[in-house]
Amino acid sequence: MNLKLEQSTINNQQSKIQISGSKSESNRILLLQAFYPKIEIENLSNSDDSQVMSEALTTSSHIIDVHHAGTAMRFLTAYFSIQNGREVVLTGSDRMKERPIKILVDALRTLGADIRYMESEGFPPLKINGKSLTQNKVTLKANVSSQYISALLLIAPKLENGLELTLEGKITSVPYIHMTLSLLKEVGIETSFIENIIKVSPKSSISNQKLIIESDWSSSSYFYSILALSEVGTKITLSSYKEHSLQGDSVLAKIYQQFGVTTTFFNNRIKIQKRANINQKTFIEIDLSNAPDIAQTIAVTCFALGLECYLKGLHTLKIKETNRLLALKIEIEKLGGEVSITEDSLSLKASKVIKSQVAIDTYNDHRMAMAFAPLALRTSLIINAAEVVSKSYPGFWTDLKNIGFQISE
Ligand SMILES: O=C(O)C1=C[C@@H](OP(=O)(O)O)[C@@H](O)[C@H](O)C1
Ligand SMILES: C=C(OP(=O)(O)O)C(=O)O
C-alpha cells in the first residue's frame, strides 16, 4: 500500500492522541509474565512485534517465526535456551537472517545452552534445544546491541544461581539495559549494576502484581517532529506518559526544545507545543548512542527545517530493520538534501529546497515511513509500502488523519 500525503496543516482542535504501550517494555514484561504468571499487564503495546512475542510465548509449535522483531528474536533465543526438554527453530524475515546474534549465542553457550545455526554462522535461524543451564558467569561485548544483554538479564532470575555479566567495551543503548533492570526490580528481583558488572539474583516466584506500561516514547517522536514543522501556537496532547520514564527515548522532550517545541507533563499526559521558530543558522549536533531509534525522526526534522546537523553515536543503525544510515541518505537526497554518512554518524547540509511528489521507499522499516511523514507539512509526498508502520505503531496513519493530514491510497 503506497500512501499519498497531500500538503497538510494540523487541526488544533482534534489533537489528542492515545499511543499504545512501549514495545520495549511490553516485550520484556511478556517474557517475565511467561516466567511469573502472577503478573497482570495494562496498556500492552498493540505493535506487531509485541503480538509476535506474545504468540511465541504461548504456542506449542516447533517453528517460531518472529518476522522483523529484533527484541523478540534476541529475548526468545535466551528464553527457549532454558525451556528444558523443548526443541524449537527460531526464525524470522530475510532481514532478520542478516541481523547478527553471535554475541548472544556465544554467551548462552558459555552458560551451557545448546544452540545451532541452521544457515549462516552467527545469524538466525537457530535450532535451540532447551536445557537447565548450570553456569552463572559470562563476559560479552557490549558495543553492538544492548538487546543481547537484556535477553540474558531477563532469563537470569530463572537460572539456579542467578547471573553475573561482565560487559566489555563501550556499552551501547544503555537506557534499554536500565529499563530491563528496573522492570526486574519492579517485580521483586534483586539486581546490581556497578561499573561494567551486572548481577541478578535468582527468584522462583513472585506475588500478584499489575504492571502498567507507559506509552511508547519512540512513537511520540513523530509528533515532536510534526510540531517542530508546525506554526507557533500549535499543540498536541499525547497519553499516557510519565515524567520519570524507563524509556531512553523520553530524551525527546529535551532534544526538541532546540526546535522550539516544549513539553508539559500533566495527569499522565504530555502537552507538546510549538513555542518559537528556530533560527535558520542553528547547527544541531546530537549523540544518539543512548536513543538510536529517534535518529531518523531527528534527521528528517532537521532536513525539513533547512538546518545543518551532525548526528553521531549511530553505530547500531546499520544492523536494524534496514541499514538506516544508508536508507536516510538515499531518501533525503531524493528530496534534494545533501547527506554524508560514516560507520556511526550522519551529516546533513542546510538545504533550502524540498522536492515535491517524491516517493519515499521504506525498506521494510516502520521508522522510515513514520519519520518522513511529517514532511507533508511542507510538501506533498508518497510513502511506499506504508503498512510497515504496524511493526511498532499500527494506528499511525489513522492518528495522522485525525490531526489533519490529508492521506489517500
Ligand atoms: O531493548 C530494546 O527494547 C531495544 C534496544 C535497542 O536496540 P540496540 O540495543 O540493538 O541498539 C533499540 O534500538 C530497539 O528498538 C529496542
Ligand atoms: C530497532 C528496532 O526494533 P528491533 O531491533 O526490536 O527490531 C526499532 O523498533 O526501531
When pLDDT is averaged across residues 178-193 and rounded to a whole number, the result is: 98
Residues 284/299, Cβ–Cβ less than 8 Å: no
When pLDDT is averaged across residues 207-228 and rounded to a whole number, the result is: 97
Q: pTM above the 0.95 mark?
A: yes
Q: What whole-number distance in Å separates Cα of residue 229 and Cα of residue 373?
A: 11
Q: How confident is the model at residue 382 (pLDDT cuts 50, 70, 90)?
A: very high
Query: Which ligand 2 atom minimizes the distance to the CA of 391?
Result: 9
For 155-185, the pLDDT digits (tens) are 999 999 999 999 999 999 999 999 999 999 9
Catalytic (active site) residue 216: no
Residues 6+ apart with CB under 8 A from 21: 43, 44, 45, 46, 50, 213, 214, 215, 216
- Could you count the other beta carbons within 10 Å of the beta carbon of residue 192? 11
Ligand 2 site, residue 392, Cβ cutoff 6 A = yes
**Cα-to-centroid distance, 176 and ligand 1 (Å):** 7
Ligand 1 site, residue 175, Cβ cutoff 6 A = no
Q: What whole-number distance in Å separates Cα of residue 189 and Cα of residue 331?
A: 45
Q: What whole-number distance in Å separates Cα of residue 365 and Cα of residue 137?
A: 36
pLDDT, residue 280, reads 87
Strand positions, DSSP E, 217-320: 235-239, 261-266, 269-274, 283-287, 308-312
For 117-142, the pLDDT digits (tens) are 999 999 999 999 999 999 999 999 99
For 231-252, the pLDDT digits (tens) are 999 999 999 999 999 999 999 9
Q: What whole-number distance in Å separates Cα of residue 303 and Cα of residue 381?
A: 15
**Cα-to-centroid distance, 381 and ligand 1 (Å):** 29
Annotated catalytic residue within 48, 216, 249, 293: 293
Q: Which of 23, 176, 320, 366 to mutate to test ligand 1, by most ligand atoms within 8 A of the CB atom?
A: 176
Ligand 1 site, residue 176, Cβ cutoff 6 A = yes
**Cα-to-centroid distance, 268 and ligand 1 (Å):** 25
Which ranges of 36-160 would DSSP assign to H, the alpha helix? 48-58, 70-81, 102-110, 146-155
Residue 318 annotated as binding site: no
**Cα-to-centroid distance, 58 and ligand 2 (Å):** 22
| Beta-ladder partners of 207 | none
Residues 6+ apart with CB under 8 A from 51: none
Residues 258/307, Cβ–Cβ less than 8 Å: no
For the record, the C-alpha cell of 181 comes out as 533492570
Task: Decide if the complex's ipTM is over 0.95.
Answer: yes
Which pairing describes strands 87-91 and 114-117: parallel, antiparallel, or unpaired?
unpaired
Q: Supply the Cα-derived Rg of the chain in whole angstroms.
A: 21
pLDDT, residue 261, reads 98
When pLDDT is averaged across residues 94-120 and rounded to a whole number, the result is: 98
Asked if residue 379 has pLDDT above 70, the reply is yes
**Cα-to-centroid distance, 123 and ligand 2 (Å):** 16
Q: Say which amino acid occupies 260.
A: G
For 7-42, the pLDDT digits (tens) are 999 987 668 999 999 999 999 999 999 999 999 999
For 240-285, the pLDDT digits (tens) are 999 999 999 999 999 999 999 999 999 999 999 999 999 888 999 9
pLDDT, residue 13, reads 66
Ligand 1 site, residue 24, Cβ cutoff 6 A = yes
| Residue closest by Cα to atom 3 of ligand 2 | 70
Provide the b/e sequence for 60-71 (b: ≥16 CB within 10 Å): eeeebbbbbbbb
- Angle formed by the axes of helices 174-186 and 146-155, nearest 10°: 10
pLDDT, residue 14, reads 63
Q: Which domains does the chain have, with CATH numbers?
A: 3-20+214-408 (3.65.10.10), 23-212 (3.65.10.10)
Computed over every residue of the chain, the mean pLDDT equals 97
Query: Which ligand 1 atom minimizes the distance to the CA of 23?
Result: 3
Q: Which of 220, 296, 321 to mutate to test ligand 2, by most ligand atoms within 8 A of the CB atom?
A: 321
Going by C-alpha positions, the residue among 157, 209, 205, 159 that lies closest to residue 180 is: 157
For the record, the C-alpha cell of 381 comes out as 509526498
- What is the distance, to the nearest Å, from the Cα of residue 257 to the centroid of all Cα atoms in its chain? 22
